Amino acid sequence: MKKKMQLRFLRWIMLILCFFGSVYVVQSSLMYTNAPVKAAKKTVLKPGQVSLSKTAEPVVGMVNQWDITLRVEGRNQFPPPPTDVVLIVDTSWSMNENDRMIKSKVAAEKFVELVLRKDYVNRIALITYDTVVTNYTFNEGSWSNQFVDSKHKQLLIDKIRALEPVPNGGTFTQAGIKSAAEVMAQASGEKRKIVLISDGVPTYSFPPTAPYNQLARMEKFDYLQNGYDYYESVKTIPKENFNYKYINKEGGNYYGNGAKYRNGALFPEYEQMPENSKNRLMANHAHSAIAEATITKNEKMSNGELLVDDFYTIGVDMDSTSQDDEVVTGNKTMKEIASSEDKSFSATANNLEDILSGIAGEIVGAIKSGFVVDPMGVGFEMDGGVTVTQGTAEIKDVLGRPTINWNVGSLKNPVSNDPDEDVMFAEITYRVSAENEILKPNIIDTNGLAATNGKTTIVYKDYNDVMKQAEFDVPKVKPIIVSLQKKVENEKGEEINNQTELFDFNYGKDQYTINDHFSLHSNETKKIVHPWKADQDYVVEEILKANQEYETLIDINGLTTASTKSQFKFAADFNAYAHQQIIVTNKKIPEKKTIRLNIRQSVLNSNSELVIPSKGFYESVIDNTDQKLNLISESTIKDTSTEVSAELFTKYEITLARQQKELTVTDLIPEYYKIFGFIATTTNENLNLTHLSSNTAALVKSNEAVLDYQINHEYWVTMFITPDLGKDSGGEPIMSPRPYSWDYKVNNFGY
């Protein structure tokens, strides 16, 4: 019994565990679904791995336009090669201007966060300088070091946040570099970097020793000062020829006035010029900083490796286009301090963060530097400029095709806002339009698709400093073609091939179709590819010359219009975009045309004493000319829906010249009758309803039926007459007709 109770208890425990387990699975799946982008990315990219993508998205509301996006993603190497960094920050008073110090601190803090991620083996040391140099040591509990690792990075961040420009502080760049080299000598990382942030040219230095402080080892320079030759200290002073233990009369170890990068070099630090000498010596503090950087870059560790493998410099608010001597010299100095020109950056206070993030990307990223070459495909033209999330892009013409050269740099933008995100990306976007060149042979494949670009490649340096090359998969899109075919027919409707006569056409007049004017011979086809607006009416128009006498039919995708103009449009949804197949057929208008007239006379209100005419007699005039026709029809009293039919009408086929348009028909009314009106229709449909005198809506109270044969080629006409005996000489109504009236005999049109 006890054993059974134990089994039941175990079963309950298992059920409870299963329940909570299932809840955990559900919650986990929900958390995964709503996780940042990077969660999904981590299932794709391994540490140090790079992925490339290229897409073409149709532009909303447009046909034959696409937005191209190239995207490069890489997961930071984990852990990246252990790297020690010495960060040097200029704290001279000028850093107070334009919020340079504020922006520098924000950028430096982000740099620390990127380089000292959790479990990275990287370290960062901090040095600041103005007139004097400060080399920081960090302490926490029993831990103390000049280099801060990821576990203690908050100490470094707090110190960076507390930095302020020093009032009246000069710029002792050389000392900052020398101190950085001394700290770097304690480095243990596989890679060693120095990053220098400064806004100005050096204004202090260590004085050189003999012979570099003498006229013989100094360089002459141009200076607009009459009567003297000026010489300055050089930038090739070796380590052993600097007086690093120099103490000035104020007790400091700096030499200079703190205001200019070049100032008078006086005894005893420099050689004394003889009295009345025309030579003047100048101390160039910028040259000394460059010399110190050269010393540091050439310094080696005990294992023979260079002490510093990369020396980065960032000049803040040092306009590269400025002609000011101080700014020009400052820029040149920063470039020469850096380990290579591509490691030197000219920054504004606003893009400093981006530059430092790029340097961090070179340290920890999957791509340290990258360059993309992206040529446009045949038949595709760029519409507008290029937008990049980082780096610089330049458009050049290569072999007749626009080609984008994108200097990507290192990957530095995280794919999500997760503070632990380690997948970085870079993107470039631009718009392309398909053009007529795409109709060249072998550009559109058998599936109707064309490649938006040529071979698109990236060359990059990976986290191991290995150069690699890869290709993007180029997207294919469906260009939409508007095709117009010309056909010409003779008078009989037989197709003819007249290669001498040209027919003119145009499309709409918006910004895309304004140049769509073209001419075609018979049996020629014109295909056009360019952008069009979706869901908008466009007009195809044939412009016939004065001597081109044709009837025009326009067939658009199977729907025919009898006109020289017709409309077409593209669907609103890009998935429904389709080619436009237009056939314009011209049929020669004959010199003569045959028209048909169906006519009858109907006698209303017949009088028993009055003879009912058995025939109707008409005079017809062509286009108000002297050309007349005499017509005869049956005459009856039939005027009901059961009586009227096509058999009552007399049928005539009349030949007119092509330019003749109208036929005016007048009833020759018998004596003792008058006209009641007429009804004319272009069809015999429902004659028993339409050709009745009771159809007052169609009845015309006139004796002249003017029939327009310009458009219609057949008419059905009923002339209604009614008795009218008139009045006698006394004005009294006549009740009976006179005997032997004219109307008793057949009218032979003798009037």
Pick from 633, 632, 705, 691: nearest CA to 662: 705
Average pLDDT score, the chain: 90
164: phi then psi, degrees, rounded to nearest 5: -140, 150
581: phi then psi, degrees, rounded to nearest 5: -105, 110
500 vs 246, more confident: 246
pTM beyond 0.75: no
Using pLDDT thresholds of 50, 70 and 90, give the confidence band for residue 108: very high
Using pLDDT thresholds of 50, 70 and 90, give the confidence band for residue 200: confident
> Residue 278 is encoded by which pair of tokens?
């025309």
Read off the pLDDT of each residue in 610-636 and give the average, rounded to a whole number: 92
What one-letter code names the amino acid at 635?
Answer: S
Pick from 468, 346, 452: nearest CA to 404: 452
Distance CA 517, CA 538 (A): 14
Tell which phi-psi region holds residue 437, choosing left (phi > 0), alpha (psi between -120 and 50) or beta: alpha
Residue 158 three-state SS: helix
Residue 230 β-bridge partners: 221, 280
With 60 as the cut, is the pLDDT of residue 3 above it? no
* Rounded (10°) angle between helices 173-184 and 285-298: 10
**CB neighbours of 365 closer than 8 A, spacing ≥ 6?**
74, 76, 77, 410, 411, 412, 424, 463
Using pLDDT thresholds of 50, 70 and 90, give the confidence band for residue 512: very high
pLDDT in tens, 446-458: 999 999 999 999 9
Read off the pLDDT of each residue in 556-582 and give the average, rounded to a whole number: 96
pLDDT of residue 746: 53
The answer to whether 343 touches 312, Cβ cutoff 8 Å, is yes
Residue 212 three-state SS: coil
With 50 as the cut, is the pLDDT of residue 1 above it? no
Read off the pLDDT of each residue in 21-33 and give the average, rounded to a whole number: 33
- What is the per-residue burial (b if ≥16 Cβ within 10 Å, else e) of 15-53? eeeeeeeeeeeeeeeeeeeeeeebbebeeebeebebbbe
**CB neighbours of 568 closer than 8 A, spacing ≥ 6?**
537, 538, 540, 556, 557, 580, 582
pLDDT in tens, 696-743: 999 999 999 999 988 899 999 999 999 988 877 777 777 776 654 444
Q: Compute the chain's Rg from CA coordinates.
A: 49
Using pLDDT thresholds of 50, 70 and 90, give the confidence band for residue 16: very low
pLDDT of residue 92: 95
pLDDT in tens, 229-262: 999 999 999 999 999 999 999 999 999 999 999 9
pLDDT of residue 747: 53
As a residue count, the chain comes to 751
Distance CA 407, CA 394 (A): 9
Pick from 9, 213, 179, 20: nearest CA to 86: 179
Choice among 78-82, 224-228, 329-333, 669-673 with the minimum mean pLDDT: 224-228
Read off the pLDDT of each residue in 223-234 and give the average, rounded to a whole number: 88
pLDDT of residue 710: 83
- What is the per-residue burial (b if ≥16 Cβ within 10 Å, else e) of 510-531? eebbeebeeebebebeeebbbb
For 671, half-sphere exposure in the C-beta direction (CA atoms, 13 angstrom radius) is 15
With 60 as the cut, is the pLDDT of residue 352 above it? yes
Pick from 426, 437, 357, 356: nearest CA to 391: 426
Pick from 655, 644, 711: nearest CA to 679: 644
For 711, half-sphere exposure in the C-beta direction (CA atoms, 13 angstrom radius) is 3
pLDDT of residue 322: 80
Read off the pLDDT of each residue in 13-34 and give the average, rounded to a whole number: 35
> Residue 601 is encoded by which pair of tokens?
């006379």
Task: Please state the separation of Cα 131 from the chain's center in Å.
Answer: 52
pLDDT in tens, 574-612: 999 999 999 999 999 888 888 999 999 999 998 888 889
> Residue 206 is encoded by which pair of tokens?
């260590």
Using pLDDT thresholds of 50, 70 and 90, give the confidence band for residue 24: very low
Distance CA 98, CA 183 (A): 31
Using pLDDT thresholds of 50, 70 and 90, give the confidence band for residue 492: confident
Distance CA 460, CA 441 (A): 35
What the chain holds in terms of domains, given with CATH numbers, is 55-77+376-415+422-477 (no CATH), 83-363 (3.40.50.410), 482-588 (2.60.40), 592-744 (2.60.40)
pLDDT of residue 728: 74
- What is the per-residue burial (b if ≥16 Cβ within 10 Å, else e) of 256-275? bebebbbbebeeebbbebee
Using pLDDT thresholds of 50, 70 and 90, give the confidence band for residue 217: very high
Task: Please state the separation of Cα 233 from the chain's center in Å.
Answer: 54
* Sign of torsion over alpha carbons 150, 156, 158, 164: negative
Using pLDDT thresholds of 50, 70 and 90, give the confidence band for residue 185: very high
**CB neighbours of 170 closer than 8 A, spacing ≥ 6?**
92, 130, 131, 203, 204, 254, 256, 258, 259
> Residue 419 is encoded by which pair of tokens?
């503070």
Using pLDDT thresholds of 50, 70 and 90, give the confidence band for residue 405: very high
Distance CA 248, CA 570 (A): 83
Instruction: Using DSSP bridges, classify how beta strands 580-588 and 482-489 pair: parallel, antiparallel or unpaired.
Output: parallel
What percent of the chain clears pLDDT 90, i.e. is strictly above it? 77
Read off the pLDDT of each residue in 146-170 and give the average, rounded to a whole number: 95
> Residue 560 is encoded by which pair of tokens?
């025919």
Distance CA 606, CA 616 (A): 15
What one-letter code names the amino acid at 734?
Answer: I
668 vs 671, more confident: 668
With 50 as the cut, is the pLDDT of residue 32 above it? no
Using pLDDT thresholds of 50, 70 and 90, give the confidence band for residue 749: low
pLDDT of residue 750: 53
With 50 as the cut, is the pLDDT of residue 105 above it? yes
Distance CA 207, CA 656 (A): 114
Pick from 293, 392, 290: nearest CA to 351: 392
